Structure 1
Amino acid sequence: MNHRFLAALALTPALIAAAPGELGLVQNHLQSVQSMTANFTQTDRAGKVLTGVLTLKKPGKIRFQYEKGVPILIVGDGKALWFLDYSVGQKQRWPIGNSPLGVLLNPDKDMTRFARVIPGGDPRVISVEANDPKHPEYGRITLIFLRNATAPGGLMLQGWVALDAQNNRTSIRLTNTRFNAPVSDGTFRFNDPQHKTGQR
């Protein structure tokens, strides 16, 4: 599940590049966010729900800290994105530049040709869908923003829905979001599951 979740997120970079209209608003929002913390709720296609805390700091740092008892951790330490499974003592490394979260963490990449705004009935909501036809294994991701004058760039990221190449759906909902507060670099350190199984 988490590998599909990561693969679909590879498309998030498409949202950062310069673009007119609503896509430009999304770009402005993402470029205005230097750090972010939020509670997240993750729901997979079977309806299994996991919760946790998301922490982001540019450039290149992100952490999905799952709830107590879930032996999984996803961390971007500025150089690489790590998927860590403490239950089996395994880790997987993605270079930040090619990782699913790479462009969300690097606002300099230009991939607007992969992103489009999805028309909706609620003018307060902006939904942006991204997919890379050259890499169908990344699947498709739709990020959902709510217009909010108090948030950076006038938008608040509500969450996203990721579909993998097999149409398996994972949704993330964000709450209690805080922007641009100080975040320690120590937040993005982790214990190696191959050496210290069971610890995070």
Structure 2
Amino acid sequence: MASIALTTLSAGAAFAATGETLAEINRYFNGIKTMRGEFSQFGPDGSITSGRFAIQRPGRIRFFYDKPSNLDIIADGKSVAVKDRKRYKQDIWPLGRTPLRFLLDTSIDLTSDAKVTRVDVQPDIVSVTVEESTAFGDGSITMMFDAATNELKQWNVVDSKGQETSVSIYNVKTGVPVDPSLFEIDYRIPSNN
């Protein structure tokens, strides 16, 4: 890990506490196979959109954006489609080349992943930053976990141009039934890329 931000512990105690915290988050997050909830997305232009989401790990996610947005984002385990419902068009990228890959992997190991570049342990939130090269250029994803429950609360994606998009999730339920058809990409829809 490139840097660890802790202010009240000695270096050795800080590293041990951080490692223990990350191991707890690994156990919690890797135990989740399905998740449903609501989200609010804050765009780099100041826009705010909201909607519902569903996850089935590994590899599957669906974001249903509320109107007036016309977007759906679907990952089917291989690809990610950003679909415009109004124009009946979509962009498709390989899942492994998007920031979502890290959230949707079969398992994560925040204690040893070389792409983890920053860990910040605070009394209420643990932030973990992962830097990656994606289809959109070099960027990062910072995941924020509740320090008491280890639940994922938010992630911020910074693209290669330095523009940040934040997604906060709430009313989350884990281990719930999720309809597999939610994650089907219609490859017959014309692609913009």
1:26-41 alignment, distance < 5 Å: 26-41=25-40
- Can you list the C-alpha shifts for 1:77-111, whole angstroms capped at 9, x where unaligned? 23322111233332222223434322322225777
RMSD, aligned α-carbons: 2.7
User: Contact 1:23–1:117 at 8 Å: present in 2 too?
Assistant: no
Residue 66 (str. 1) matches residue 65 (str. 2): yes
Offset from partner CA, 1:26-61 (integer Å, 9 cap, x none): 221221110001110001122110001111012221
Q: How many residues align?
A: 171
TM-score (structure 1 length as normaliser): 0.74
Aligned match of 1:7: none
Which has the larger strand fraction?
2
**1:9 maps to which residue?**
none
Query: Is residue 177 of structure 1 aligned with residue 172 of structure 2?
Result: yes
**5+ residue gaps, structure 1:** 1-18, 149-153, 196-200
| Alpha-carbon separation, structure 2, partners of 1:194 and 1:80 | 14
Taking a change above 3 Å as real, the CA distance of residues 176 and 134 of structure 1, as seen in their structure-2 partners, is closer
The answer for the alignment partner of 2:81 in structure 1 is 82
Instruction: Indicate the structure whose relative CO is greater, using CA pairs within 8 Å and at least 6 residues apart.
Output: 1
Distance 2:118 2:51 in 1: 28
Gaps of 5+ in 2: 1-17
Matched, 1:159 2:154: yes
* Distance in structure 2 (CA, Å) of the matches to 1:169 and 1:190: 26
* Equivalent-residue separation in structure 1 for 2:134 and 2:80 (angstroms): 22
Structure number with bigger Rg: 2
Cα offsets for 1:129-182 (capped at 9, x unmatched): 11137989231121110034xxxxx41111111211111111111110100111
Q: Give every structure 1 segment of 4 or more consecutive aligned residues whose post-TM-superposition deviation is greater than 6 Å.
A: 133-136
Greater helix content: 1
